[in-house]
Amino acid sequence: MPAITLAIDTAAPRLQLGLLLADGTSDFIVDDIAKGHAEILFARLDTLLSRNNVSNADIERIAVTTGPGSFTGLRIGLSAARGLGVARKIPVLGIPSLQALSLTVASGPVVIFLDARRDEAYFQTFSAPGVPKTAARLLPLEEARAAISHEATLVDSPFIDIVAMARFAAEQDVADYPPHASYVRDADAKPQNASRIPRRV
């Protein structure tokens, strides 16, 4: 019997909530929205739970995408998941977004290729859905294109299958999936060392 699992994804320009129930059935809500996730997330969650006769007290674990993705969106999803986890004293799993995307494929090797702008791409290969073969990387666009294997299923959409992620997270060891943001690309902001005031010794 699977744990009742709530999955949250705010990494892409969408709000996705998925619910896996103890009997193995599932439900989900998807809103195409580039901004404003925070304003509607908990209202949508209430709708999802109530129509399945589930309360917050019934949720046994939470999964949330950790990126790469929208900086603001990721923070909203992670904050919501962690807050619910602390309030309920239940485990929260952070599922890397590229790994979550690999779950949209039924079987076999998978290649994730996402346009990251600036002539770059997020790239990762999987020996099977959810099973990383290489680490997530940020590559020049043409280098990433050249690395695509024709023996693997290509995924180039940023939209995950939220129910597949919930099912995956229900079976994973919590210790393997800490709920921390994974941006892959380095932060744009750099320390302004030249303008720092020297520290007195």
Distance CA 83, CA 194 (A): 38
User: CA quadruple 14, 17, 81, 93: dihedral positive or negative?
Assistant: negative
CATH number of the domain within which 40 lies: 3.30.420.40
E-strand ranges in the chain read: 5-9, 15-20, 26-31, 61-65, 92-95, 110-117, 120-128, 131-132, 137-140, 153-155
Distance CA 111, CA 156 (A): 8
Quick check: 85 and 117 in contact, CB under 8 A? no
Distance CA 148, CA 77 (A): 30
| Residues forming a β-bridge with 110 | 126, 153
Q: What is the pLDDT of residue 40?
A: 96
Q: What is the pLDDT of residue 190?
A: 45
Q: What is the pLDDT of residue 189?
A: 41
Please state the domain count of the chain.
Answer: 1
> Residue 81 falls within a domain, yes or no?
yes
> Residue 190 falls within a domain, yes or no?
no
> Residue 192 falls within a domain, yes or no?
no
Residues 6+ apart with CB under 8 A from 95: 63, 64, 65, 66, 165, 168, 169, 177
> Residue 181 falls within a domain, yes or no?
no
CB burial string 40-54: b at 16+ within 10 A, e below:
ebeebbeebbeeeeb
Residues 6+ apart with CB under 8 A from 200: none
Query: 119's torsion region: left (phi>0), alpha (psi -120 to 50) or beta?
Result: left
> Residue 18 falls within a domain, yes or no?
yes
The domain of 169 spans 5-176
> Residue 78 falls within a domain, yes or no?
yes
> Residue 100 falls within a domain, yes or no?
yes
Per-residue pLDDT 10s for the chain (201 aa) are 899 999 999 999 999 999 999 999 999 999 999 889 999 999 999 999 999 999 999 999 999 999 999 889 999 999 999 999 999 999 999 999 999 999 999 999 999 999 999 999 999 999 999 999 999 999 999 999 999 999 999 999 999 999 999 999 999 999 999 999 988 866 444 445 554 555 554
Q: What is the pLDDT of residue 116?
A: 94
> Residue 186 falls within a domain, yes or no?
no
Q: What is the pLDDT of residue 183?
A: 86
